[in-house]
Amino acid sequence: MKVHNTASMEEVSWQDVRKQVKILAPDIFEAIEQLEPDSSYKLYKIKYPYGATILGKNGAFHVPNAKGHLVPLDDASLNPKLQEELGYNWNGLPMSLIMAGQVDLFVGDTNSQIEIYYPCKAGVVAALRGVLDPPQSYQARHFWRMSSGTRLPFLLASIADNASFTRLRKHFNLRLHKPVTQQEQWQFFVEMANHEAFPHPWFSEILAFSKQWLKPRKDNAWNLFHLALLKRAWKTSEYSRNAYPINKIWEKFTSEIRNKQVTHLILATSRYIIEASLGQVPLHVIADETNVAGPFNEITSLLLDVYQLKKYAPIVMVTGSFDRNNGYPGFVSIQMPNLKSNLVSPNKSNKMIADMREIKYVVTQLVKKIDSGHINVNDTPFTDLNRIAFDFYHADEDKHRELLPAISIFDGIETAEKWKKTAENNLMPYRNSFIRGCVKISVLPK
């Protein structure tokens, strides 16, 4: 395969990036303006193509060398000065501002064991907790991995037609076979996006801060800069900082609801759905026209024009977070959740329907108990759960009519309707492993 997307890195000054930082992170901008950094405060703008490794094995930070090859920070092909400037976080990710695109922070080295921790978009300052903690941070940096763009995408429409896929494979001279699993789809997208025949290169971009930025000064300007970083870290750690009382809330609830039918897996999945609705764990959203999560405008165009996808809309689900304030729904696939640990495993359809009924019951009961004051959490964001709709869907008919038909899961969603109009037959793909047991999370109308 001929690749035309390669990573790049350049050293930049504060004056080069200050206007962009002002838009993305005004609090950090104001603090740096007061700091008045001189030339010793090094900044490195690094661009990564879709699917590129940012944090690899043992949590090592990857940067491009002079040949454009991504290598761990301790690689011999890199300038020792650069290694010294950026290696202050145990050769893991230095403090970095996401400037463009999305980078996914996750745990796991094999495709079948990935657990997405956080999809970082432009404006996020990454690695703050690790660099602000003492050297022996509880972050355990060697566990973390990071890639450029969404790491767990899912194309809902099937691309299993042999003749159509052969046409697409010849167009790109693909080495891969038809993707079947979600993991194979990511590899397929990466190979397409980085091929010389791909129409528009896609990159995420980060701004890495050198060690000088974290070296204490005795003046008030540095104290204000340090305080701005601490405020950022404090706000983003609200949920984890309050793990003890949050666990007590769950203990009180589960002690009342646990019975022979409600298993640990059902409770764990229900908790995941609740935490996703509060924006505390990742879920999936529909890829939109912004191309933030990856080059999916171009990918879907190729599926329509070269593969000649006609029957179903080319909807791609990408990793994201649910925001109660932006009006966009989020989706939790029961068979394919972002967090793999302790969640319901794929099983036979009738068992999946039964499991989903149990999950729906648990989620509904928790919201009712909070809304009624039986579980008194009026001083917490848990009270916002009464503003959220939890709709449960399955592709097969539920004889008890507790689950909605999966064919209607995207009804009324503007982004989905736009993709639907691109398909020749205007059909929604719904009988796939992602939607065959799925929860839609949305804000209730006022």
Look at residue 51 and tell me whether its pLDDT is greater than 50: yes
Where does the pLDDT of residue 258 fall: very low under 50, low under 70, confident under 90, or very high at 90 and above?
low
Look at residue 326 and tell me whether its pLDDT is greater than 90: no
pLDDT tens-digit map of 173-231: 887 788 877 778 999 999 999 998 899 999 999 999 999 999 999 999 999 999 999 99
Question: What are the φ/ψ torsions at residue 71 (nearest 5 degrees)?
Answer: -135, 155
Look at residue 48 and tell me whether its pLDDT is greater than 80: yes
Q: Judge contact between 249 and 280, C-beta under 8 A.
A: no
Where does the pLDDT of residue 364 fall: very low under 50, low under 70, confident under 90, or very high at 90 and above?
very high
Of the candidate ranges 17-31, 44-58, 238-252, 343-357, the one whose mean pLDDT is the lowest: 343-357
Q: What is the mean pLDDT of residues 255-271?
A: 81
Where does the pLDDT of residue 262 fall: very low under 50, low under 70, confident under 90, or very high at 90 and above?
confident
Could you tell me what percent of the chain has a pLDDT over 90? Answer: 71
Query: pLDDT value at position 445?
Result: 86
DSSP string, 332-360: EESSS-S--TTPPPP--HHHHHHHHHHHH
CATH 2.60.120.10 residue ranges of the chain are 8-232
CATH number for the region 8-232 comes to 2.60.120.10
Tokens representing 17 are 């990036």
Query: pLDDT value at position 263?
Result: 84
Cα 83 from Cα 62, distance rounded (Å):
11
Where does the pLDDT of residue 90 fall: very low under 50, low under 70, confident under 90, or very high at 90 and above?
very high
Report which residue type is found at 50.
Y
Query: pLDDT value at position 342?
Result: 42
Cα 77 from Cα 62, distance rounded (Å):
12
Query: pLDDT value at position 122?
Result: 98
Cα 116 from Cα 319, distance rounded (Å):
8
Query: pLDDT value at position 351?
Result: 85
Where does the pLDDT of residue 335 fall: very low under 50, low under 70, confident under 90, or very high at 90 and above?
confident
Look at residue 261 and tell me whether its pLDDT is greater than 70: no
Cα 406 from Cα 131, distance rounded (Å):
45
pLDDT tens-digit map of 383-421: 999 999 999 999 998 888 999 999 999 999 999 999 988
Query: pLDDT value at position 180?
Result: 78
Look at residue 341 and tell me whether its pLDDT is greater than 70: no
Look at residue 424 and tell me whether its pLDDT is greater than 60: yes
Summary mean pLDDT of the chain: 91
- Predicted TM-score (pTM) of the model is 0.94
Look at residue 2 and tell me whether its pLDDT is greater than 90: no
- Cα torsion 122, 101, 53, 125 to 10°: value is 0
Query: pLDDT value at position 123?
Result: 98
Q: Judge contact between 344 and 334, C-beta under 8 A.
A: yes
Q: Judge contact between 353 and 397, C-beta under 8 A.
A: no
Look at residue 325 and tell me whether its pLDDT is greater than 50: yes
Look at residue 347 and tell me whether its pLDDT is greater than 60: no
Q: Which helix (H) or strand (E) segment is 317 a member of?
A: strand 316-320
pLDDT tens-digit map of 116-141: 999 999 999 999 999 998 778 888 88
